[in-house]
Structure 1
Amino acid sequence: MRKHLGRPESRTVVVWAVLTAVICGLFSAAFATWAAWHTARPLPDATETTALVAEVLPGYEINEVDPGAALFTFYSQPLRPRNLKAMLFLDGGEYQQGATVATVKTAPRAVQHEMVALAQGRLRETGWRVLPPHVEPELTCRAGGGCTPTGGPSNVSLVARRDDTALDIHWLANPSIDGTHLTVAVYRATPPAVLPAGIGGGLVGALLGGLVFAWASRRTRPPHPATNGVTALYAITMLFWWTPVLLAAPNLLGHHRDEPHPVWHPLWEWLGQPALSLFFVVGAGSALVALALATVPRRDADPLATATPEFAQ
């Protein structure tokens, strides 16, 4: 393998080839899944959401329904070209899955845990797969110390899924300023096309990434004039591409363990995208410059030195 990569003397070139193929496969799989996500049905409108809330939460009076603007939104609005600068400069985390949100101001006269239990029962009766509720106690924090639970009501989230629709019912520990007791967010589940698209896109990206690395490695072996420059640029690319993955994946894994998710976060968020998309752009730029340098003609030995004696004479 080292000989095929043009570096028979190197002990690490195979490792770098694998790392390159893996990261290229992950990025191409993320793009493929993003494209496949758009096969999902549009978000429910206000009428559908109102009917859904009435079905799963009878007795609750809806105050307002805010229809989702798009399947994925940036600050609750569809992503537009003018948003790209904000996304690049550490604001990309606001690119999130869209949802239609209903707010409820009038709730049945019951204690919180009874309302949660009634909602769980109603969801199961109407064919929803209900995950365990997630409880966040209200905390009191002191200036010089830690935070302790108040002992009062808690913020409770109940998530469920039915077919291609998921919902998140969120009870507030205390009504908000406008009197909202709870919110119901309705969004789409992962479309069936996402998994095969991710696998296929990942395999193609890994194959192409490995082939390009092999070509550049063979092309820039010494005495190529840009060997050192290409090596430095390649190191920059790997640093800027792998750092977001190593930062985002463990944090998102902990988040999934702490809270129930009827729909997992999309693949690109596990790669730190687009929250750290500036890292990806810088790495892609250094990779393109490195490939351009790899096309510089090699500086091999003088052809006269290897000529036949008859030609030399």
Structure 2
Amino acid sequence: MNDLVTSSTTADRRLLRAYRRLLRAYPPGPRRDELLDTLVECAPPGRRRPTLREVVNLIRHGSRARLGRPKSRGIVVLTLFVALAGGCLGAGAANWLGWHAVEPLPTGAEAAGISATVFPGLQVWGGGEAPGVVSQSDGEGIEYGYAVSWVKHTAATRDVAAYTAGVRARLEAAGWTVTGVDPALDETDVVGANAADRVESFTATRGALGIRFNDYYWAGRPAYDGDGNATYFLWQEPPSWLKTVTWLGFPPGAFLAWLLTGWASRRLEPNPGMSAPAAIGAILAVLCVVPATLLTLVSDGRADETAGPTWQGLGFALWTPAVLFGVLAALLLFIAAVQRPPRRLPQWRRQAAQVLDVMRRRPRAAVALVTVASLVTGLGLYALVIEQLRPGSCTPTVPAGIVDPPSARTSDQARVFIDRQATEDQRNLAQAAIWRGLGGSPSFAGDPRAPGFLSPYCARGRVDSAVAEKLPSHWSVELASPGLFAGLAAEMMAMPGVVAVQHVPD
């Protein structure tokens, strides 16, 4: 032993530091010191760094030792798959963070300049900000977050072919490159088609920006339905570095998953009855992530110009699988953590015994403590009944006019409130105006007893039934992009019976 100590103290310090770093592959414990002494003793005089063979062997056997089951090969295979799932989640997290570093859509003078190029001299609604990536409405892929801008039809925009040609010419003069022109509208086999209907669309790019222009004219429509509009979609395409950043997240995710799986395996090894359920849970966790990742990578996800290859939104495509994986992983880690009692459990038991002993020796103090606890509990229950459960515990607040708080700046949710005394014709006209203002999928809430009717008025508590009967009915509206709220509000506040239009924060 003295020779070993002497060898360790006389060895080259660089060699010692290198061995100590490599031995971190092994789980903490006396095994590290034993291996260090052996390695130093076997090293020839003058060696300054480990050999490649030593590096490979120490990492391989150290990683294997962290799994804590020397007789099992299945644990190695399972851990490799868990590490693969962890790496996929790490890549997804890096992708999500990378998208948050992408430049936002143009605002201010730059955005106004684009609108002036597309729609010179017209009142333009929409624009604003948008998230980098959003899920497609059918849930089949992802698309770049876009801002929609639109104008009501004028005599000029109703001449669809001429106006679209003018927009293309102005954009090309401003440095945009037209990348695609849609074919002419063909309604040959459409029953009831109107030969006067016209649609023109094209796509253009400038730098990292993409734009899609559409001009729809539906001839013969009644005024309340509208005869179409002219719009453009603006989005930011991903930068060239996003793919690299995405896959840089794979190694740390895989390494962390490997370490946690090894820790759980060592903790569960003394309890064979828990090993099989834990393995099944780990397999289910892997199945939550790996197939979804493979499907994301092999599919380009393109459906139209605003859609992007699915891997470019890996962090968004893996959101639901990541939640399921996290729930299963947290459960397994919790089971592993409670296999052994906490180190302080005996101390907590002694402290609890001391408290009980004091209460037995001082009954008055015990009675006082129970009385105080009962009083606090009673007051809590009373407050719950008064503030939450009693009818009339909430006084509803009815919005008025246009309500657009700063917290709703990037929200695509809105509500339109209409007086309960409004006629059926007024409600129909208001709903038609929602569609004209590019508010999609409006759902109407008119029954005060229906679930969700009171949510815009009271976050907590209950509304008296007589009061609820007088509250305005409302539509929940999903906007194609957050900046469309101003146009929706302008369209709706001109309708009879509408009392408020509210931009709802996320």
Counterpart among 257, 277, 286 of residue 328 in structure 2: 286
The residue identity in structure 2 corresponding to 1:230 is A
Give the total of aligned pairs.
268
Cα separation, partners in 2 of 1:17 and 1:186, compared to 1, 3 Å: same
The residue identity in structure 2 corresponding to 1:241 is V
Contact 1:131-1:262 within 8 A present in 2 as well? no
For the pair 1:34 / 2:76, whether they are aligned, the reply is: no
Residue 91 of structure 1: CA displacement?
11
Structure 2 stretches of 5 or more lacking a match? 1-59, 341-506
Cα separation, partners in 2 of 1:136 and 1:293, compared to 1, 3 Å: farther
Corresponding residue for residue 202 of structure 1: 250
Corresponding residue for residue 206 of structure 2: 162
3-state SS, counterpart of residue 31 of structure 1: helix
The residue identity in structure 1 corresponding to 2:150 is T
Cα separation, partners in 2 of 1:241 and 1:52, compared to 1, 3 Å: same
Residue 183 of structure 1: CA displacement?
0.8
The residue identity in structure 2 corresponding to 1:294 is A
Counterpart CA distance in 1 for 2:179 and 2:262 is: 47
After TM superposition, the structure 1 = structure 2 runs for residues 183-202 of structure 1, keeping only pairs within 5 Å, are 183-191=231-239, 194-202=242-250
TM-score by length of structure 1 reads 0.63
The residue identity in structure 1 corresponding to 2:127 is P
For the pair 1:131 / 2:179, whether they are aligned, the reply is: yes
* 1:169-216 deviation per Cα after TM superposition (whole angstroms, max 9, x unaligned): 233363783444321122323246634432322232122223333444
Cα separation, partners in 2 of 1:94 and 1:189, compared to 1, 3 Å: closer
Cα separation, partners in 2 of 1:11 and 1:109, compared to 1, 3 Å: same
Cα separation, partners in 2 of 1:168 and 1:247, compared to 1, 3 Å: same
Cα separation, partners in 2 of 1:148 and 1:41, compared to 1, 3 Å: same
Contact 1:131-1:260 within 8 A present in 2 as well? no
Cα separation, partners in 2 of 1:62 and 1:272, compared to 1, 3 Å: same
Cα separation, partners in 2 of 1:120 and 1:61, compared to 1, 3 Å: same
Corresponding residue for residue 448 of structure 2: none
Contact 2:92-2:318 within 8 A present in 1 as well? no
Contact 1:138-1:151 within 8 A present in 2 as well? no
Contact 1:40-1:190 within 8 A present in 2 as well? yes
Contact 1:159-1:167 within 8 A present in 2 as well? yes
Residue 287 of structure 1: CA displacement?
0.9
Contact 1:36-1:191 within 8 A present in 2 as well? no
3-state SS, counterpart of residue 272 of structure 2: coil
Corresponding residue for residue 19 of structure 1: 81
After TM superposition, the structure 1 = structure 2 runs for residues 1-313 of structure 1, keeping only pairs within 5 Å, are 4=64, 6=69, 9-10=72-73, 13-14=76-77, 16-45=78-107, 47-55=109-117, 57=118, 62-71=122-131, 98-104=145-151, 105-106=153-154, 107-108=156-157, 110=159, 112=161, 119-120=167-168, 122-134=170-182, 157-172=201-216, 174=218, 177-191=225-239, 194-217=242-265, 220=268, 224-242=272-290, 244-245=292-293, 253=300, 255-256=301-302, 258-261=303-306, 264=309, 267-268=312-313, 272-274=317-319, 277=320, 279-295=321-337, 296=339
Contact 1:29-1:200 within 8 A present in 2 as well? yes
3-state SS, counterpart of residue 132 of structure 1: strand
Cα separation, partners in 2 of 1:192 and 1:233, compared to 1, 3 Å: same
Counterpart CA distance in 2 for 1:162 and 1:20 is: 43
Contact 1:25-1:206 within 8 A present in 2 as well? yes
Cα separation, partners in 2 of 1:111 and 1:271, compared to 1, 3 Å: closer
Contact 2:88-2:290 within 8 A present in 1 as well? no
Identity %: 21
Counterpart CA distance in 1 for 2:228 and 2:323 is: 42
Residue 263 of structure 1: CA displacement?
5.6
The residue identity in structure 2 corresponding to 1:103 is W
3-state SS, counterpart of residue 100 of structure 1: strand
Structure 1 stretches of 5 or more lacking a match? 76-89, 142-146, 298-313
Residue 74 of structure 1: CA displacement?
8.4
Contact 2:93-2:315 within 8 A present in 1 as well? no
Corresponding residue for residue 85 of structure 1: none
Instruction: State which drifts further: 197-206 or 45-54.
Output: 45-54
Counterpart CA distance in 1 for 2:258 and 2:269 is: 17
The residue identity in structure 1 corresponding to 2:207 is D
Residue 226 of structure 1: CA displacement?
1.5
3-state SS, counterpart of residue 226 of structure 1: helix
* 1:281-309 deviation per Cα after TM superposition (whole angstroms, max 9, x unaligned): 23211111112333435xxxxxxxxxxxx
TM-score by length of structure 2 reads 0.42
Counterpart CA distance in 1 for 2:121 and 2:97 is: 37
Cα separation, partners in 2 of 1:185 and 1:291, compared to 1, 3 Å: same
Structure number with the higher strand fraction is: 1
Cα separation, partners in 2 of 1:225 and 1:119, compared to 1, 3 Å: same
Cα separation, partners in 2 of 1:18 and 1:173, compared to 1, 3 Å: farther
Based on CA coordinates, which of the two structures has the bigger radius of gyration?
Answer: 2
Residue 103 of structure 1: CA displacement?
0.7
Residue 32 of structure 1: CA displacement?
2.1
